A and B are shown apart, each in its own frame.
Chain A
């Protein structure tokens, strides 16, 4: 009974490179959320996706960031032309349904370091 899987766990990129973060939700979950945690801060919501659809991207920067959750395969958070300020832990969560009755289960996070 695997939980939410994220890879890689650690990712180092140089400024200007692209970062791809992957999230495989729990089995049976079709709702995925991405959060960002800056050092010494709480998690900040970025984007909420269902299969093949972005439902809410109000927390995601308009430029350089994109997310997808294809019909097959993991959800991908993509950061183009990374900058030092993108250094953070990125957490993915998944749920079975679309309301708070359904608990969001979190993955272990991907720690992105931009040199």
Chain B
């Protein structure tokens, strides 16, 4: 069974500063995908960034980057130059790399508040 743990229920950051959200996971799979989703107050789930486990290079998307440590089963999200629009719940998620097994396993989320 896969589990995803987000140990920070709430975080805050000053506008324009950098913040890192933590995520650890447990799996016996060797090939898998990891995701960070954002859920703003509108409740719409939005994909922020994705990482394939077989890729050593950390994924980046503009101000968002990850620190993927496969051996430690750690997948943190770094948000640089935080903006007010980044205020949201952030969910870390896991997906096995197997045919027909493409449901997402989510952590419990981190509520991020960007302070003006």
Interface residues, chain A, CB within 8 Å of chain B? 31, 33, 35, 40-45, 48, 55-56, 59, 89, 91, 93, 95, 98-100, 103-104, 106, 108-109
Contacts and interface: CB of A to CB of B under 8 A. Distances in A.
Interface stretch (B60-68, B73-81, B96-104): B96-104
B95 A33 contact: no
B108 interface: yes
A108 B108 contact: no
Given A100-B95, A100-B97, A103-B47, A45 B42 contact: no
Contacts of B28: none
Does more than half of chain A's interface fall in helix, strand or loop, or is it mixed?
strand
A48 B91 CA distance: 20
Interface of B: 4, 6, 33, 42-47, 50, 52, 91, 93, 95, 97, 99-109
A59 B105 CA distance: 11
Nearest to A3: B44
Contact of A48 (B6, B33, B103): B103
B75 to A, nearest CB: 14
